Amino acid sequence: MKLDTAKILAVAGLILSMLSFIHATLGLVGLVLYLAGMYHIGQHYNKREVFRYALVSTVGFTAALIAIALLVGLGALLGTLAAGPMGVGASIAAGLALAYIAILLMGKYKRDLMRTLAPHSSSIAEWAARLYWYGAILAILLVGLALLLIAQVLEAIVLATLRPTRTPAGSSGTL
């Protein structure tokens, strides 16, 4: 697959995942497109870590969100039956703690992803890396969520502006 096609897949997937609040199907389709694009981008640059960072950050974060929803939902139901209001508070606190840990891990892997792609893009990649990391740390204050949204927009710009690899002189030009 050509780099331009992979970039379009990854950017479209990223945009669709940002629109998942409209319908969960958009998020799922976006996730698949994003990962497919990132796989081929990693293949183009011959860097397996590109796909690994993208996979861990997106699938791991999604799985954590599902686990959190189950923990908070079932914990609230069972906590109410077993321990009353104290059980509900404990299950919500555990869910929020798990969410924060998942956001920190996602921020770390997204930061590593942007730093891996930085040599093939503009200096915006380093800004996106920083915003992912600082946004993840500050997510506990809710300010970080805005930084994470800005980092996603910057990631889309980074992906759209990736440069193809240069072919050495005398080669056929095919990758």
For the chain, the domains span 3-161
Distance, in Å, from the CA atom of 96 to the CA atom of 10, rounded to the nearest integer, reads: 29
Mean pLDDT score of the chain: 85
Amino acid at 86: M
Distance, in Å, from the CA atom of 71 to the CA atom of 122, rounded to the nearest integer, reads: 41
Q: Which two tokens stand for residue 120?
A: 């093939």
Question: Best-predicted range by mean pLDDT among 49-58, 64-73, 157-166?
Answer: 49-58
Q: How confident is the model at residue 86 (pLDDT cuts 50, 70, 90)?
A: low
Q: How confident is the model at residue 79 (pLDDT cuts 50, 70, 90)?
A: low
CB atoms within 10 A of CB 156: 19
* SS3 label, residue 19: coil
pLDDT at position 12 over 50: yes
pLDDT at position 175 over 50: no
Angle at 150 between CA 149 and CA 151, to 5 degrees: 90
Tell me the pTM. 0.82
